Homo-oligomer: A and B are copies of this chain.
Amino acid sequence: MNYSRQREVILNVLRSTTSHPTAEWIYEQSKNILPSISLATVYRNLAYLEQLHEIIKVQGVFEKDRYDGNTKNHAHFVCLVCGNVIDTDVDSDTKVKILTSIPEKADTFSIIFSGVCQKCREKSNNPN
């Protein structure tokens, strides 16, 4: 794989946030640096980078795919009110317990928690 400035920018943009952005958002940010970059280039490079395990594609959160520059094995919390996706650590004890809890031999796992985040919980006056 040859060097490309576009790929470098896309990766930097993704690594500069913890917001688990969509391809469209990464495209808009990248345009600030490379105004002529194309959306297809963003998609193509995100696919490459995922294959190289430089980034992670997070599916199953609302409708669009999200991308994550943090490749450490961690879980995601999706707030059903504000839609934010929050990284949550999974300690290695839990990780082992999860991976050994099934008969199959899993290489990786994806955990997506759903609920209402702390902020949204505070905003509503619901004492729960």
Contact = CB atoms under 8 A, between A and B. Distances in A.
A91 B101 contact: yes
A116 interface: yes
Contact of A102 (B75, B79, B107): B75
A77 interface: yes
A94 B111 CA distance: 13
A77 B106 contact: yes
A75 to B, nearest CB: 7
A49 interface: no
16 contacts: A75-B109, A77-B106, A86-B104, A88-B101, A88-B102, A88-B103, A89-B101, A94-B98, A98-B98, A104-B118, A107-B116, A108-B114, A108-B115, A109-B113, A110-B114, A111-B111
Interface of A: 58-60, 75, 77, 79, 86, 88-91, 94, 97-99, 101-118, 121
